[in-house]
């Protein structure tokens, strides 16, 4: 039985595309039943529709409050009965009510090595701080921003002549590998969470540039 996914996205949809391609290639036993965006011009909506995936835009301006918007989304998503809700460049902070409704079923990817450089403009923050390494983190979503239990991280070097754009692209290339991998592990029932500690059963730990090591991507 395949894993049912709902994807929330606000931007160009490159991570969504990577996940769709992984499903099409049979690497992930899953089906995306719905893509939701808060922006009508999001590239993710176009990508979803090009791949025959139902896509809906719900604009926040039509709702009286952030809480009201999120409660509406909760009810809409519940109709899909998803196994996992995937945040793929979703540029809204989720309300506590939303997170409570899907606790343990929400995953996100962030372009830094959490707990460093949380929030917006993580790549810019890394450059300004002068770190020599940054990366990408796939984590479960909790009420504290970009602070949930970590599933996998990819380490990406920062080069002396990097710009925000070049660093972002280098990180993104790893996002497109670690995110589908994490989703596959979850859908295969291999991810176990104990407090803040996440273990992928049978995975290989202790090597670079990803920990645990990639298996399929």
SS3 letters across 63-80: CCCHHHHHHHHHHHHHCC
Do 31 and 4 meet the contact criterion of CB atoms below 8 Å apart?
yes
| SS3 (DSSP) at 181 | helix
By annotation, the residues acting in catalysis are 110
Q: How far is the CA of 8 from the CAs of 53, 112, 116, 166, 174, in angstroms?
A: 13, 20, 24, 25, 20
Who's near 130: CB < 8 A, 6+ residues apart?
none
| SS3 (DSSP) at 108 | strand
Who's near 174: CB < 8 A, 6+ residues apart?
135, 136, 154, 156, 209, 210
């Amino acid at each position: 039985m395949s894993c049912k996914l709902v994807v929330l996205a606000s931007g160009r949809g490159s991570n969504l595309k990577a996940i769709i391609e992984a499903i099409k290639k049979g690497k992930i036993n899953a089906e995306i039943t719905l893509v939701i965006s808060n922006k009508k011009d999001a590239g993710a909506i176009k990508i979803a529709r090009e791949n025959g995936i139902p896509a809906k835009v719900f604009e926040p301006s039509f709702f009286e409050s952030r809480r009201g918007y999120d409660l509406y989304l909760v009810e809409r998503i519940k109709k899909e009965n998803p196994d996992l809700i995937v945040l793929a460049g979703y540029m809204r902070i989720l309300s506590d009510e939303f997170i409570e409704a899907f606790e343990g079923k929400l995953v996100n990817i962030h372009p830094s090595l959490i707990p460093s450089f949380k929030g917006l403009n993580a790549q810019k923050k890394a450059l300004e701080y002068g770190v020599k390494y940054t990366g990408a983190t796939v984590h479960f979503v909790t009420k504290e921003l970009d602070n949930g239990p970590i599933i996998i991280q990819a380490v990406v070097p920062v080069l002396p002549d990097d710009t925000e754009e070049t660093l972002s692209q280098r990180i993104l290339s790893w996002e497109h590998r670690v995110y589908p991998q994490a989703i596959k592990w979850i859908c295969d029932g291999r991810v176990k969470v104990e407090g803040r500690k996440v273990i992928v059963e049978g995975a290989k730990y202790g090597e670079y540039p990803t920990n645990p090591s990639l298996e399929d991507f």
